Amino acid sequence: MSDYSLAELCIAACAEAWRGDGEVLATGITVIPRLAAGLAKSTFNPALMMTDAEVFLVDEPVPVGKRGDYTIKPEGWMSYARTFDNIYGGKRHALVAPVQIDRYGQTNISTIGPRDNPKAALLGVRGYPGNSINHANSYFVPSHDARAFVAGEVDFVCSVGYNPARWPGGKQPQFLDLRIIVTNLAVLDFGGKDNAIRVKSLHPGVTFDDVQAATGFPLERPTDIPTTPAPSAEQLKLIRETLDPHGARSSVFKGDPPGVRQAA
């Protein structure tokens, strides 16, 4: 048995997205990315800016859930308008959770199925198009399977990816910058040939074949694939006691499984 959960492993893996980013706005949408941004800011990248998920920039990450006696520590203003001003300036790295992603790193959160007769209407494209063409982006996919990692293109392309056929004038957008994809099985990046998606690390107990079998397109396979590093004792303490005291992370994966996958 590992002494950390899959959720905690994913939080630590997602936090790595912001290592070396310097003074940018870290936006983590959904529980694990948000906790990851807080972890990165609390440890190896204190220069990161974060918000209270509403309107203030805060000097320390706001714990998830009921706050009790905790009061936020505002250090600045990040209104809706300023959020976009910052996006247009590129000083942001978002880690968001799309419903579909394809081999180009294009993602979808709008509609599933045919556009004129959608099987499921989701949120709408939100800010995905603008984010993807203005600043660094990473993705979190909690359920790594062929419904999420689709064959072909996603049903409605909400964010730009490494697909030259869609680039304006055939030229790569100058600020397109996709970094990593963290899933329940592995960490992927765009370091393959022509930015192809490859496996960067495998979560403990997961094989390349497991990941490939759960993906609707071929993945690049480096010769040596490391294991996703376990969260450190310091990281676990921060996650459990400070960032997520009510344990919101435990409901992300069904049954809150351990970080080290048990042999089947």
Partner 1 sequence: MLDKRLSLDAVVDRLSDGMTLGIGGWATRRKPMALVRAIARSNLKDLTLVAPYGGPDVGLLAASGKIKKLVFAFCSLDHYPLDPHFRAGRQSNAFEVRELDEGLAQWSLRAGAMRLPFLPTRVGLGTDVPVEAGMKTITSPYEDGEVLLAAPAIRMDAALIHVHRADEKGNVLILSPDPFFDDLIARAADEVFVSTEKLVSTAELDMAANARFNPFERSVVTGVVETPFGAHPTGAGPDYGIDLEHLKTYAASATPETWADYKARFVDVSPQDYLDAVGGAERVGALPPPVY
Contact 181, 101 (CB under 8 A): yes
DSSP 220: B
Q: Which lies closer to partner 1 via its Cβ, residue 110 or residue 183?
A: 110
Q: Which lies closer to partner 1 via its Cβ, residue 50 or residue 230?
A: 50
Determine, following the binding rule CB under 8 A, whether residue 89 of this chain makes contact with partner 1: no
Determine, following the binding rule CB under 8 A, whether residue 81 of this chain makes contact with partner 1: yes
State the nearest-atom distance from the C-beta of 21 to partner 1, in Å. Answer: 21
b/e map 195-204, b = 16+ CB within 10 Å: bbbbbbbbbb
> Going residue by residue from 10 to 49, which x/- string records binding to partner 1, judged by CB under 8 A?
----------------------------------------
Q: Pick from 27, 100, 134, 215: which binds partner 1 (CB under 8 A)?
A: 134
Contact 259, 203 (CB under 8 A): yes
**How many residues are listed for the chain in this entry?**
264
Q: How many helices (H) and strands (E) does the chain have?
A: 6, 13
End-to-end CA distance of the chain: 14
Q: Which lies closer to partner 1 via its Cβ, residue 129 or residue 226?
A: 129
Q: Pick from 45, 132, 183, 184: which binds partner 1 (CB under 8 A)?
A: 132
Determine, following the binding rule CB under 8 A, whether residue 175 of this chain makes contact with partner 1: yes
- Give me the torsion for CA of 148, 152, 154, 156, rounded to 10°: -160
Residues near partner 1 (CB under 8 A): 52-56, 62, 64-67, 77, 79-81, 84, 87-88, 106, 110-111, 115-130, 132-134, 156-161, 163, 166-169, 171, 173, 175-176
